[in-house]
Amino acid sequence: MSHSVITVIGKDRVGIVYDVSKILAENQINILNISQQLMDDFFTMIILVDTAQCPKSRQEMLDVFAAESQKLALDIRMQNEEIFQAMHRI
Amino acid sequence: MSIQSNEILETVKMVADQNFDVRTITIGIDLHDCISSDINELNQNIYNKITTVGKDLVATAKHLSAKYGVPIVNQRISVTPIAQIAAATKAGSYVSIAQTLDKAAKAIGVSFIGGFSALVQKGMSPADEILIRSIPEAMKTTDIVCSSINIGSTRAGINMDAVKLAGETIKRTAEITPEGFGCAKIVVFCNAVEDNPFMAGAFHGSGEADAVINVGVSGPGVVKAALENSNAATLTEVAEVVKKTAFKITRVGELIGHEASKILNIPFGILDLSLAPTPAVGDSVARILEAMGLSVCGTHGTTAALALLNDAVKKGGMMASSAVGGLSGAFIPVSEDEGMIAAAEAGILTLDKLEAMTAVCSVGLDMIAVPGDTPAHTISGIIADEAAIGMINSKTTAVRIIPVTGKTVGESVEFGGLLGYAPIMPVKEGSCEVFVNRGGRIPAPVQSMKN
pLDDT digits (tens, 9 = 90+) for B308-332: 999 999 999 988 888 888 999 999 9
Residue in A4, A79, A81, A89 to test binding to B, most B beta-carbons within 10 Å: A79
Beta-carbon contacts of B422 under 8 Å, excluding residues fewer than 6 positions away, are: B334, B335, B341, B344, B367, B368, B369, B402, B412, B413, B415
Cα separation, B121 vs A47, whole angstroms: 56
How far apart, in whole angstroms, are the C-alpha atoms of residue B368 and residue B365? 7
Question: How is residue B408 annotated by DSSP?
Answer: -
Residue B278 is predicted with a pLDDT of 87
pTM: predicted TM-score of the whole model, two decimal places: 0.93
Q: Which whole number is the average pLDDT over B71-86?
A: 96
Q: Supply the pLDDT for residue A2.
A: 72
Q: Phi then psi for B159, rounded to 5 degrees?
A: -80, 95
Quick one: pLDDT band at residue B301, thresholds 50, 70, 90? very high
**Is the backbone of residue B304 left (phi > 0), alpha (psi -120 to 50) or beta?**
alpha
Round to whole Å and give the CA distance between B13 and B16: 5
CB contact under 8 A, A46 and B251: no
Q: Write the residue in A33, A75, A83 that is nearest to B16 by C-beta.
A: A75
Residues B394 and B403: beta-carbon distance below 8 Å: no
pLDDT in tens, B102-122: 999 999 999 999 999 999 999
- Asked if the Cβ–Cβ distance from A46 to B8 is below 8 Å, we say yes
Interval A32-56: pLDDT, tens: 999 998 877 789 999 999 999 999 9
Order the strands of the A74-80 sheet from edge to edge.
Answer: A30-39, A42-50, A3-11, A74-80
User: CA nearest A36 in B: which residue?
Assistant: B5
**A79 residue type, one letter:** Q
Q: B264: part of which helix (H) or strand (E)?
A: helix B235-264
pLDDT > 70: percent of chain B: 100
In sequence order, which residues have a C-beta less than 8 Å from that of residue B229 and are 6 or more positions away? none
Query: Which of B74-78, B277-281, B385-389, B401-405 has the lowest average pLDDT?
Result: B277-281
- Nearest Cα to A65, choosing from A23, A16, A3, A14? A23
The reported pLDDT for the residue numbered B3 is 78
Closest CB to A7 among B9, B67, B252: B9
In whole numbers, what is the pLDDT of chain B averaged over residues?
94
Contact list, A81 vs chain B (CB under 8 Å): 1, 3
**Closest by Cα among B254, B197, B199, B232 to B27:** B197
Q: Nearest-CA distance from A40 to chain B in Å?
A: 14
Position A1 scores a pLDDT of 54
Q: How many CA atoms lie within 13 A of B449 on its CB side?
A: 2
At residue A40, the pLDDT reads 74
Give B304→chain A minimum CA distance, Å. 29
Query: What are residue B347's DSSP bridge partners?
Result: none
The pLDDT of residue A39 is 78
Contact A84 B251 (CB under 8 A): no
Q: Mean pLDDT across the stretch B51-70?
A: 95
What is the predicted pLDDT for the residue at B107?
A: 98
Residue B302 neighbours by CB distance under 10 Å: 25
Q: Residue B449 has what pLDDT?
A: 84
For residues B95 and B2, what is the distance between their CA atoms, to the nearest angstrom? 56
Asked, as a colleague might, if the bond just before B174 is cis with ω within 30 of 0, I would say: no
**ipTM of model over 0.95:** no
What would the mean pLDDT of B260-265 be, rounded to a whole number?
96
pLDDT digits (tens, 9 = 90+) for A6-16: 999 999 999 99
Residue B240 near residue B297 (C-beta atoms within 8 A): no
SS (H, E, C) A13-63: CCCHHHHHHHHHHHCCCEEEEEEEEEECCEEEEEEEEECCCCCCCHHHHHH
Strand pairing of A30-39 and B21-29? unpaired
Alpha-carbon separation of residue B313 from A30, B213, B327, B410 (angstroms): 40, 22, 12, 35
- The pLDDT confidence band at residue B17, using thresholds 50, 70 and 90, is confident
**Rg from Cα positions in chain B:** 21
